[in-house]
């Protein structure tokens, strides 16, 4: 039975990851940590929880020493648009937090997961069907952090034998916890606005394609990769994963199959648009499929159905 410590457990991925891992491995075997304690009554407090600022190496070490996990999942990070507003803070949080987490994994010999992102690519990366190994010269602080993080995780594997594993996530779409500060967030907001107001104004322009994936598939991918036999893995970190390449018009067309009157218009945000244009249109996930059986279940239309139904029930 696994015993898992999670940082950033109240974030967009962390929230659902914590619940799923507790379902599989038992509530008491999954420790959620985050900067602040959630409100009383939050489902996360049904199991162990500790307050943790990931830049505080001593506290992270102390929590790990007490909980005695065999796995550390480091999810705490600032996303692309927020990182661009405060790049120095982003560097300190994203890189400082990661280094502290890797050190804890090294000291206590923990299996380790942290996500990278399509943000690790840049404007001179091949745009379509982007291979896993290719040019990476990102032009955002978030992207710089993600490439550095991929390299650092590989370094800890080769140099210290830490069992580091990671994927490059596309935009993740969920109705449980809304994301904050990302470039791909429009693809979540559009569903909430569709249900609540019947219309959405997109800050990302028409014909801007980015990869996306439904959160259930993202959580399954993490679990599958972490359970994959080490001998099957030629790579460790930075696996491309994706379920679809879409633009705002495609999401709107999918929503209109259920809500024919849904209206989409545009008020493009130049900062997030520039970030989106520096990322690939579509990435190639064939290595993840071949090495550990990555197989997303949701396409755009099945995801739209789930999103609209779940948001209507809220």
The token pair at 305 is 């159905």
Q: Is-catalytic flag, 142? A: yes
Subset of 75-94 contacting ligand AKB (CB under 6 A): 79-80
Query: Which residue of the set 25, 142, 155, 266 is catalytic?
Result: 142
The token pair at 20 is 């799923």
Q: Does 117 bind ligand AKB (CB under 6 A)?
A: yes
Q: Does 119 bind ligand AKB (CB under 6 A)?
A: yes
Rounded CA-CA distance 26/7 in Å is 18
**In the bound complex, which residue of the shown chain has the CB atom lying closest to ligand AKB?**
182
Minimum Å gap between C-beta 63 and ligand AKB is 26
The token pair at 153 is 């995780």
The token pair at 38 is 């959630």
Q: Does 218 bind ligand AKB (CB under 6 A)?
A: no
Among 183, 237, 254, 282, binds ligand AKB (CB under 6 A): 183
Which CB sits closer to ligand AKB, 165 or 168? 168
Helix (H, G, I), strand (E, B) or coil at 83: helix
Which CB sits closer to ligand AKB, 50 or 185? 185
Kindly give, in sequence order, each residue whose CB lies less than 8 Å from that of residue 283, ignoring residues fewer than 6 positions away.
118, 121, 129, 130, 132, 168, 170, 211, 240, 242
Q: Does 190 bind ligand AKB (CB under 6 A)?
A: no
Minimum Å gap between C-beta 78 and ligand AKB is 9
Q: Does 282 bind ligand AKB (CB under 6 A)?
A: no
- Quick check: 255 and 211 in contact, CB under 8 A? no
Q: With CB under 6 A, what is the number of residues at the site for ligand AKB?
A: 12
**Contact letters (x/-) for ligand AKB, 4-43, by CB under 6 A?**
----------------------------------------
Question: Between the CA of residue 288 and those of 13, 156, 219, 222, what are the distances in Å?
Answer: 19, 21, 14, 11
Rounded CA-CA distance 89/9 in Å is 20
Q: Does 118 bind ligand AKB (CB under 6 A)?
A: yes
**Contact letters (x/-) for ligand AKB, 141-160, by CB under 6 A?**
-x------------------
Which CB sits closer to ligand AKB, 218 or 225? 218
- Quick check: 306 and 175 in contact, CB under 8 A? yes
Rounded CA-CA distance 272/80 in Å is 9
Rounded CA-CA distance 171/250 in Å is 15
Minimum Å gap between C-beta 87 and ligand AKB is 14
The token pair at 284 is 């190639």
Among 114, 184, 254, 304, binds ligand AKB (CB under 6 A): 184
- Quick check: 184 and 215 in contact, CB under 8 A? no
Minimum Å gap between C-beta 249 and ligand AKB is 19
Which CB sits closer to ligand AKB, 170 or 248? 170
* Chain centroid offset of residue 35 CA: 18
Among 14, 69, 166, 171, binds ligand AKB (CB under 6 A): 171
Among 182, 248, 280, 296, binds ligand AKB (CB under 6 A): 182
Where do the H-state alpha helices sit in the chain? 12-25, 57-67, 80-85, 87-91, 97-108, 141-160, 186-197, 215-227, 248-256, 270-278, 286-292, 300-313
Residues that bind ligand AKB (CB under 6 A): 79-80, 117-119, 142, 169-171, 182-184
The residues annotated with a catalytic role in the active site are 142
């Amino acid at each position: 039975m696994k015993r898992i410590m999670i940082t950033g457990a109240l974030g967009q991925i962390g929230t659902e990851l914590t619940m799923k891992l507790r379902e599989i491995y038992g509530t008491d075997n999954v420790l959620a940590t985050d900067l602040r304690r959630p409100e009383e009554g939050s489902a996360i407090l049904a199991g162990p929880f500790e307050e943790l600022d990931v830049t505080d190496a001593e506290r992270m070490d102390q929590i790990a020493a007490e909980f005695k996990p065999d796995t550390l999942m480091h999810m705490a990070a600032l996303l692309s648009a927020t990182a661009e507003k405060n790049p120095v803070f982003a560097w300190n949080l994203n890189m400082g937090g990661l280094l502290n987490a890797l050190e804890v994994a090294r000291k206590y010999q923990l299996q380790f997961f942290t996500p990278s992102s399509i943000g690790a690519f840049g404007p001179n990366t091949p745009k379509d069907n982007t291979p896993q190994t290719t040019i990476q010269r990102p032009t955002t602080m978030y992207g710089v952090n993600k490439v550095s993080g991929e390299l650092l995780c590989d370094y800890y594997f080769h140099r210290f034998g830490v069992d580091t594993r990671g994927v490059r996530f596309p935009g993740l779409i969920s109705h449980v916890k809304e994301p904050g500060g990302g470039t791909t967030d429009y693809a979540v907001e559009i569903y909430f606005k569709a249900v609540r107001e019947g219309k959405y104004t997109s800050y990302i322009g028409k014909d801007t394609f980015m990869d996306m994936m439904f959160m259930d598939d993202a959580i399954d991918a993490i679990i599958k990769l972490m359970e994959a036999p080490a001998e099957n893995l030629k790579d460790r970190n930075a696996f491309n994963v994706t379920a679809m390449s879409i633009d705002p018009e495609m999401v709107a067309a999918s929503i209109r199959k259920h809500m024919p009157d849904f209206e989409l218009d545009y008020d493009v945000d130049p900062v997030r648009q520039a970030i989106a244009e520096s990322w690939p249109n579509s990435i190639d996930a064939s290595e993840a499929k071949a090495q550990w059986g990555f197989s997303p279940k949701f396409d755009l239309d099945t995801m739209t159905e789930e999103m609209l139904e779940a948001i209507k029930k809220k």
